Every structure is written in C-alpha cells, then in structure tokens.
Chain A
Amino acid sequence: KNQVEQSPQSLIILEGKNCTLQCNYTVSPFSNLRWYKQDTGRGPVSLTIMTFSENTKSNGRYTATLDADTKQSSLHITASQLSDSASYICVVRDSGGYQKVTFGTGTKLQVIP
C-alpha cells in the first residue's frame, strides 16, 4: 500500500530561525513529489514539484530536496517568518494519473515572535 509519512507532526520555531520538514514515501512507481502549504481553513497551495531526476529545487526561502533511492524528501525553510505558520503537506504521485496520489498527514508549523 502506498504511504507517505511526514515528520514532525508539529513544530514551533522562533521567527528568523530555519527548519526542515521530512517526508518519507513508499509510492511506486514514482512520478513526482510536491510540497504544498495550507493555511488554516484554506486550500493547499503548491510550493515545489520534483521529479525523479531532480535532487533539489528552490522557491524563495523554501528549498526541497529529493532522494529517490531512499524515497525521502525534505522541505527546508530559511529565515522563517510569521506568515510561514501553516500546515505543509507532502504529496506523492505514481504513474497512474492524478487520482493515484497519496497525501501525507502534514506538518503543522507555528512560527512565533
């Protein structure tokens, strides 16, 4: 069964600090992996997408890495801001189409002043 596990479940950091969120998956055959940011009561918004051949991708202060061999991804947030407080969801798609995606349960990040 395809699974996506994220850690930690929740995280509190001080404004300005860096943090790293983890995503481990067992989805096969792998197509791509996305990180989404979801503000409370809102729909998820895509941050990055990574395919099998990509090791790292940045979007402003967000940098995602992918190790397809170990089936691990991380999302690094640099110089955190209060507006980074949200849930971050890892979504892995297999080659079966967009109905064949597996969602992680998310990491809830709270940035405090």
Chain B
Amino acid sequence: SRELTQPPSVSVSPGQTASITCSADKLDNSYTSWYQQRPGQSPVVVIYQHNKRPSDIPERFSGSISGNTATLTISGTQTMDEADYYCQAWDSRTNVVFGGGTKLTVL
C-alpha cells in the first residue's frame, strides 16, 4: 500500500515561511490534502486537491505538487499556526492513507 513520508518536525520563526513536505512512491491519480490539528482539537482541512484552500482558511496557507512530493507552505507564519500537520492521499485500492504527521513549532 502507499506510504506518505513527512518530516517529524519543522521549526520556523514568526513571520517566516514554513514548508512541510509529503513524499510518496507514487501520487498519480490521487489528490493530496492537508490537515491541521492543534493540541486537544480535531483536525481541520487547510488544503485539498493539492492546492485548493477552503474559504475559511487564511491565504498564507498554500499547497503544491511536484512529481511525487506534495508541499504545504505557510507564508508569514504566526504563533497560532503551531500544530501538527498531516498529509492525506488515496492508494490504488481507493483506501485512505495519512502521512505520519509533522509537528510545526513557531519560535
């Protein structure tokens, strides 16, 4: 089955740009989505279909895809963005796959 690999942690200073990658053996025929999970809260989608942003998500969140690597970028990172981030895709058997998650620290 497909595996999605994320870095366990990323650190960024307030106001700077944070990038979180999600690598797979193959991402063909599968959109990627990204979820933010703040401590003690349920996940929230911040990016879907590689690079679309829900209307209630700030513009500083963006997504991209290059080959078999999807990237979540947070421009002008704020302290409120400190959270765990998970990428998600589908494998060839239409099963859901999550990445292992990345803890974003803003300091």
Specify whether A and B are partners: no
> Footprint of A on B, CB under 8 Å?
none
